[in-house]
Amino acid sequence: MKRNIVRIDEDKCNGCGLCVPSCAEGAIQIIDGKARLVSDKYCDGLGACLGECPQNAISIEERDADAFDEDAAKEHVARTREVKDALACGCPGSWARSLSPQAAPAEAAHDAPPSQLGHWPVQLHLVPTNAPYLTNADLLLAADCVPFAMADFHTRFLRGRPVVVGCPKLDDAQYYIEKLAEILKRNDVHSLTVVHMEVPCCSGLSRIAAAAVRASGADIPVSDVTISIGGQVLAECAAGF
């Protein structure tokens, strides 16, 4: 049948992935660095993705195509939920990767110490709940301003821990509660350390952690750490959730 359907100009597409979350039917995915229409029957042709493309690579054309199948689209979305968790923004830069922090060589001792980051991504929205580095982990939950304020964040808190970061004031707190609870349930996490700034809004990260621990049913030790704007540890205590 002839109908309206999405057309993607691969010459213009730069693979940014901004179009992916705008397609509720999952018809667009990033494949080999380009946005592609994975199946005609998943595309309703309404063009919700059009305004998301900064390269103007997406348009609507009329051509012969399979009819839109709403039930098939829903099944497709359900089947790929795990993948969408790992690629939450559709961007290849959010693929889960383990890193290998290394000690600084002796001749570089006078330079900046090496990064202690052991994985990518770190943003809680993007971290897959089934990432292998979360299994049996001592998990670090950090407000995203903390590493900027604290000069020794890597050596004092990050070393040996997987980290997830977020902003309790600007981000979706309920989503974070659900995502963190799922991480705790799936991975037999051994402990949770919450590091946040002294400003009142940032203490919301502690409330997110408390709600997630309760929702997960996890019985784990939780530490709560408050960092001053000047980068000093103001308080560090066991949190009773």
Strand order in the sheet with 191-197: 163-166, 138-143, 191-197, 222-227, 233-238
Nearest to 224 by CA among 215, 233, 214: 233
The per-residue pLDDT for 103 is 55
Q: Return the half-sphere exposure (C-beta side, CA atoms, 13 A cut-off) of residue 45.
A: 15
Q: What tokens were used for 156?
A: 């004092």
Which tens digit of pLDDT belongs to each residue from 27-79? 998 777 788 999 999 999 998 888 778 889 999 999 999 999 999 988 888 87
pLDDT of residue 88: 46
| pLDDT higher than threshold 70 for residue 104 | no
Question: Tokens 């049948």 label which residue?
Answer: 1
Burial classification of residue 206, based on how many CB atoms lie within 10 Å of its CB (0-12 exposed, 13-18 middle, 19 or more buried): buried
pLDDT score for 16: 77
Domains and CATH numbers, the chain: 2-94 (3.30.70.20), 97-238 (3.40.50)
Over range 161-174, report the average pLDDT. Answer: 92
* Mean pLDDT value of segment 141-153: 96
Residue 241 is predicted with a pLDDT of: 55
Question: In this predicted model, which residue has the larger pLDDT, 89 or 167?
Answer: 167
| 130: confidence class by pLDDT, cuts 50, 70, 90 | confident
pLDDT value of residue 99? 66
In this prediction, residue 118 carries a pLDDT of 92
The reported pLDDT for the residue numbered 149 is: 96
Element (H, E) at 192: strand 191-197
